[in-house]
């Protein structure tokens, strides 16, 4: 299972190993151990040391997601990488320069750099032991169903211990034939267990035939921000691929060759897409903060505080990804009041100040949320975050409401650029927003985000009827 945090760890390891190799060479060169002053030749030698290490690491899959999460494997793979690097250096020296013995200076560099890399591995080991005690960034996962297939999946999850917190099996059907005959009933029990125990994902080998009842179970899970994923064998999937597709199951990914199927397309479950979106968010938010908010923020703070008493920045708890609450920042556009956490703004709302009316009309009041984006609570584009009270109320009225909580909320969104913003007086208006949010989640692309940002700016310039 590919996690952004493990990807960051891999990136750090690659950079640290490169620093270790180059530092070892530099120390030996400037200390006089490497006596040659042929700078061109030394530069080529240094480049060769880096290339042979990376080539050896690629061949040994040293930096794979599985290996970096298992200390024993990481040490073992690093040792094999070093041995292969020595072999490659010898081979290159022999076949290109007819050198039978690796020069002492190069050998010292290899030994010193590997010593530094080994030290890095010990630091990684200490970090992983500390990180394993933290469940903040790990998904809580449970398995239900076939014992043989489930045990293979369990082995995979346990090898990805930095990404997931495997809580175990819930009702192993192989040991209970009565339950095995009632997969749908057991799946419902599992979902309720997941809700009670704060699980993020449930993997089941059971594929209920009753489509209507299956949708009911999926809906129950999604309403509580629990993803249900279906597991089958590779052979069965390939043999019955068309049947799975006709039953609305989509191939999400392979976990060690095990097909994982879902009933909803989500491009942002792929690590590559999440990295692209997060990178774009960081660069875009930094640009806005540096070039606009660095001077505009203090100016607006002064104007807001001159017009009415209270803090210039309004922080309110909103519902974030997986329904986790976070403080959403805005320029304060209303006079201080006791209804701000429960009552939406209305047209001609007496609480709104004159400056606040201008800010809300032009969406300037949302600009501090670029700090939310930089901190990782929000994205530039995504479903708008709602007040906790409204999330609780609408989740009871609209079946698919909580699906929008599967991804980060945004400063702007697909619903907003299509006119669904402002006050929602009826559930039907919120339902339209939710449908647009779900469409965005299922059809995400970077190009789509850029289009939404463009439309947001264009709408702000020409003014919107529902912006108040």
* DSSP secondary structure code for residue 384 in this structure: P
What are the strands of the beta sheet with 201-204, ordered from one edge? 164-169, 139-144, 201-204, 227-231, 258-262, 250-255
Other beta carbons within 10 Å of 287? 11
Over residues 265-281, the mean pLDDT reads 93
Between these two residues, 36 and 47, which has the higher pLDDT value? 47
Give the pLDDT confidence score for residue 275 in this predicted structure: 92
β pairing state of 250-255 and 258-262 = antiparallel
To the question of pTM greater than 0.75 for the whole model, the response is: yes
Integer Cα distance of 210 and 51 in angstroms: 56
How confident is the model at residue 328, as a pLDDT?
95
pLDDT tops 90 at residue 283: yes
- The whole-angstrom separation of Cα 459 and Cα 437 is 19
Nearest to 261 by CA among 205, 208, 212: 205
CATH classification code of 139-264: 3.40.50.2300
Contacts 24+ apart (CB under 8 A), 324-328: 325/388, 326/372, 326/377, 326/378, 326/385, 327/377, 328/369, 328/372, 328/377, 328/378, 328/385, 328/409
Nearest to 440 by CA among 209, 266, 229: 266
The string of pLDDT tens digits covering residues 64-92 is 988 888 888 999 999 999 999 999 988 88
- Distances from the Cα of 352 to the Cα of 136, 333, 346, angstroms: 38, 6, 9
Note the pLDDT tens digit of each residue in 320-366.
Answer: 998 999 999 999 888 877 666 666 666 667 788 888 888 888 889 99
pLDDT at 449: 97
| Helix-, strand-, coil-residue percentages of the chain, each rounded to 5 | 60, 10, 30
Predicted confidence (pLDDT) at residue 452 exceeds the cutoff of 80? yes
What pLDDT was estimated at residue 136?
Answer: 61
Is the pLDDT reported for residue 468 higher than 50? no
Over residues 160-215, the pLDDT tens digits come to 877 888 887 765 443 444 334 455 566 677 777 777 778 888 888 777 654 556 66
d(C-alpha 234, C-alpha 22), whole Å? 44
Contact by Cβ (8 Å): 369, 329:
yes
Place 309 in a pLDDT band, splitting at 50, 70 and 90. Answer: confident
Per-residue model confidence as pLDDT tens digits over 215-225: 677 778 888 88
Query: Domain segments of the chain: what residues?
Result: 4-132, 139-264, 271-462
Specify the residue for token string 């819930």. Answer: 170
Q: What is the pLDDT of residue 430?
A: 87
The pLDDT of residue 282 is above 50 = yes
Q: Is the per-residue pLDDT at 429 higher than 50? A: yes
Task: Residue 386: name the closest of 433, 348, 418 by CA.
Answer: 433
The tokens describing 9, both together, are: 């760890």
| Average predicted confidence (pLDDT) for the chain | 84
pLDDT, position 279: 95
Tokens of 193: 């267990």
């Amino acid at each position: 299972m590919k996690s952004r945090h493990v990807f960051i760890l891999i990136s750090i390891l690659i950079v640290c190993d490169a620093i270790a190799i180059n530092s070892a060479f530099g120390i030996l060169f400037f200390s006089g151990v490497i006596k040659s002053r042929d700078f061109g030749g030394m530069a080529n030698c240094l480049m060769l040391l880096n290339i042979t290490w990376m080539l050896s690491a690629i061949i040994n899959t040293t930096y794979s997601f599985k290996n970096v999460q298992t200390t024993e494997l990481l040490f073992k793979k690093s040792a094999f990488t070093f041995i292969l690097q020595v072999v490659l250096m010898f081979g290159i020296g022999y076949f290109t320069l007819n050198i039978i013995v690796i020069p002492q200076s190069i050998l010292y560099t290899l030994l010193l750099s590997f010593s530094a890399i080994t030290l890095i591995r010990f630091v990684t080991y200490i970090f992983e032991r500390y990180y394993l005690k933290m469940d903040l960034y790990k998904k809580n996962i449970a398995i239900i169903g076939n014992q043989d297939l489930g045990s293979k999946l369990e082995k995979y999850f346990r090898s990805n211990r930095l990404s997931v917190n495997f809580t175990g099996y819930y009702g192993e059907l192989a040991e209970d034939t009565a339950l095995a005959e009632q997969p749908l009933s057991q799946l419902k029990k599992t979902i309720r267990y997941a809700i009670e125990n704060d699980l993020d994902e449930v993997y089941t080998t059971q594929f209920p035939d009753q489509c209507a009842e299956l949708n009911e179970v999926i809906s129950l899970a999604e309403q509580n921000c629990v993803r249900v994923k279906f597991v089958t064998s590779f052979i069965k999937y390939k043999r019955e691929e068309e049947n799975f597709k006709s039953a609305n199951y989509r191939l999400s990914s392979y976990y060690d060759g095990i097909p994982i199927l879902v009933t909803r397309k989500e491009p942002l479950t792929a690590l590559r897409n999440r990295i692209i979106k997060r990178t774009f968010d960081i660069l875009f938010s930094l640009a806005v903060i540096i070039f606009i908010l660095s001077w505009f923020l203090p100016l607006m703070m002064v104007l807001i505080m001159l017009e009415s008493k209270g803090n210039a920045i309004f922080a309110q708890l909103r519902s974030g990804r997986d329904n986790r609450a976070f403080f959403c920042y805005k320029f304060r556009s209303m006079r201080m009041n006791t209804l701000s956490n429960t009552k939406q703004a209305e047209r001609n709302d007496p609480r709104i100040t004159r400056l606040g009316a201008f800010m809300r009309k032009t969406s300037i009041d949302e600009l501090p949320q670029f700090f939310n984006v930089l901190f990782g609570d929000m994205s530039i584009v995504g479903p708008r975050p709602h007040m906790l009270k409204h999330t609780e109320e609408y989740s009871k009225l609209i079946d698919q409401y909580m699906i929008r909580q599967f991804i980060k909320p945004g400063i702007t969104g697909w619903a907003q650029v299509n006119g669904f913003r402002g006050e929602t007086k009826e559930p039907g208006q919120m339902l339209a927003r939710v449908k647009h949010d779900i469409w965005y989640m299922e059809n995400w692309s970077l190009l789509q985000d850029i289009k939404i940002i463009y439309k947001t700016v264009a709408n702000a310039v020409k003014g919107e009827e529902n912006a108040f």
